[in-house]
Structure 1
Amino acid sequence: MKAVYAHHPAADNPLEALRFGEQPEPGPPGDDWIVLGVVAAALNHHDLWTLRGAGLPADRYPMILGAEGLGADDDGRKLIIHGMVCRPEWRHEPIRDPGHSLLSDDHPGTFAERVAVPRHSVTCPKPEEFSDAEAACLTGTWLTAYRMLFTKSGLRPGDTVLVQGAGGGVATALIRLAAAAGLRVWVTSRSEAKREAALRLGAHTALPARAPVPEPVDAVMESVGQATWAHSLRSVRPGGTIVVTGATTGGDPPAYLNRLFWNELRVVGSTSGTPEELDRLIRFMLQHDLRPDIAAELPFDHAEEGFRRMLDGDLIGKVVFSW
């Protein structure tokens, strides 16, 4: 079958390792797995990190990329693919499964004509109101943003949230969800165009990267990492929360422990959510007429264009591939 895959780790030139071509057909690891035909799949920074060789042992290459998407079963039903792989007993909290992983880590991902997934991870049918491309980027991006805001942060309507690095998929989802929930939304970006786009999406204030905030915020949504970590710590009020879901500029920032303990800050990790949170997310989006922001829809054989745009930072919203 055709697939987009990482041929080998390439830390300095990740696109050099990107390939489109034949890969083995998926074989379900067990009876509790199902093979779906991939309709569409969305690009995430995790895919770039895999190309760089971060987090994946060298002996696991080549690896089919993609950790979220939309698939169709043998009856033609379109089902949202949750990329988190865990045992059925941990479906309510996948991260607690000691053996949890993502598609494209221990198992081939969604950037292929077909993908094998656990049956319990594809119980959510595509809402009729969503396009295939929109449904394909719900679990890796919008569900991550939903969990950050409504499960992990402790924010309430009227609070102020700072979103670092406006423009990417998670950041745009955070802006749209937070504004719809009655939060005051501030964002940062190095790009004036992205700051203007964030205001159009619903942000109330858009600031240059690392600029002082008008007043301390109740929580910071952090996915940038080393480049913004000090600014996040300076921007949150005493007793406030920093929710971390990624580190695209590096995962080893200084700890600044004196600021953490003196201001009694909470630093909370967050990953993609549970099937129950996905159901609530979809209801919330339908109620508020929210749809994922799609930066580009491309055929899988043009995947390099989408990867290059993400690598260059030339995105507002998601890149989605389809057949």
Structure 2
Amino acid sequence: MILVTGGAGFIGANFVLDWLKHHDEPVVNLDKLTYAGNRDNLAALANDSRHHFVQGDIGDTALIAELLTTHRPRAVLNFAAESHVDRSIHGPSDFIETNIVGTFRLLESVRQYWLGLDAAGREAFRFLHVSTDEVYGSLEREDAPFAETHPYQPNSPYSASKAASDHLVRAWHHTYGLPVLTTNCSNNYGPYQFPEKLIPLMIANALAGKALPIYGDGQNVRDWLYVGDHCTAIRRVLEAGSLGETYNVGGWNEKPNIEIVHTICALLDELRPRADGKSYREQITFVTDRPGHDRRYAIDARKIERELGWRPAETFETGIRKTIAWYLAHQDWVERVSSGAYRDWLATNYAHRS
């Protein structure tokens, strides 16, 4: 049995689906079901006895203790996090509460459970913390990609809160001996991503005939990682990662945002042409940049390849085609998650940008 936190969100849900596709080992899935956590993401597991869903908060120590005592997991994988930079700028308190305080409370609950295991159980147990490359800050064009030894230089409330959670995980290993593993990933994309993020937002807006808003000059560079590849990396780190170590997980796909949007438009022109025969590129609109927008992220993923033999299977070209095909086939899912609250958020974030 493994316990997954945040397993109804984008990456967490993909991981749970991937895990049960490759393993018979059951999953207890804890998710608070905030705006980005969605039971629809797990609909394929509705009748799967290996999947036990619990709605709850990682900061609820009584609930965490009950789950650990009842289910006796051999590993806890922490995906639970507030994760959208723009939301952290508008309202940082939720990010502090979930990503820092919540992680602290989860670590303490897990530590008490781990101390109560027998020697063999303590030896086999793992706590895997899923984090982001944004903790490393921003790179200039000529800088080397982020390695695991790169200093932390977070620039947004979101990345600062994730950096703090990483430090807590590290400290609980070095101070208390908790057997931890940490992964720092680059920008994920793929099925079930909430449509406030760049790729699903561009797809949804394009199909709806709306503007495709690009921050600043569109030259902010990210390393893009298909979520299915991220799931295989996490499985591999859980299986063979060295205790206390950090593994950067990247897609080897550095691309500026404007190139991403041009690619999406070209594929939609091919797969779902506009009724007027024009290109979706005509809907691109440049808007006022995000405050403190990091210019470039890039992951050096050689450590995980060298030590654990993992490398992404998808190129950006294959991954983005799969992603667009999924969204075209699941417009009902997009409509269900695009609630009134989500539309209100889009108005809040973009109304003041010209």
With structure 2 as the length reference, what TM-score do the two structures score? 0.24
Higher helix share: 2
Choose 1 or 2 for highest CA Rg.
Answer: 2
> Whose strand proportion is higher, 1 or 2?
1
